[in-house]
């Protein structure tokens, strides 16, 4: 339960407080960009758009992070990435933290100036693949 509460505090409470305090500085400046990884994005985008503040969300696929290693119980990044890649839709590439950072940089940049209220999936198409997690066997192609 303690691990679950820590994840909730990080992924929900932390995001909410981050948006709250960032908006407090951005509203007087009449602009800014907030990037979150939580569902609060759409509401925050609707509320803060009138002040020129863009709010977007990143939804990455699984990453071999310290929290993921502890949660899954695998300490070796290569073993963990192999396990995660077995369920991934996009093969021959592994999602790295730099990929998520680059997506955030794009959303925060001038190139992303008219993107707000968007959930950018960085999941190699995982969110659009068969939701059965490939439980059915298909004939070899």
pLDDT (0 to 100) of residue 140: 66
Out of 7-11, 59-63, 129-133, least confident range: 129-133
With a threshold of 0.75, does the pTM exceed it? no
The enclosing H or E element of 131 equals none
How far is it, in rounded angstroms, from Cα 52 to Cα 33? 9
Q: Which phi and psi (to 5°) does residue 107 adopt?
A: -65, -35
Per-residue pLDDT tens over the stretch 85-120: 988 888 889 999 999 999 999 999 999 999 999 999
Collapsing DSSP to helix, strand or coil, 85 comes out as: helix
């Amino acid at each position: 339960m303690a691990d679950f509460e820590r994840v909730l505090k990080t992924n929900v409470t932390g995001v909410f407080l981050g948006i709250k305090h960032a908006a407090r500085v951005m509203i007087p400046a009449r602009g800014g960009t907030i990037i979150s990884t939580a569902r609060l994005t759409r509401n925050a985008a609707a509320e803060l758009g009138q002040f020129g503040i863009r709010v977007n969300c990143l939804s990455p696929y699984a990453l071999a992070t310290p929290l993921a290693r502890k949660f899954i119980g695998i300490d070796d990044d290569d073993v963990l990435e192999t396990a995660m890649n077995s369920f991934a839709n996009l093969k021959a590439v592994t999602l790295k933290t730099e990929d998520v950072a680059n997506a955030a940089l794009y959303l925060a940049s001038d190139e992303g100036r008219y993107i707000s209220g968007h959930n950018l999936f960085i999941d190699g198409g995982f969110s659009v693949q068969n939701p059965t997690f490939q439980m059915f066997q298909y004939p070899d192609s």
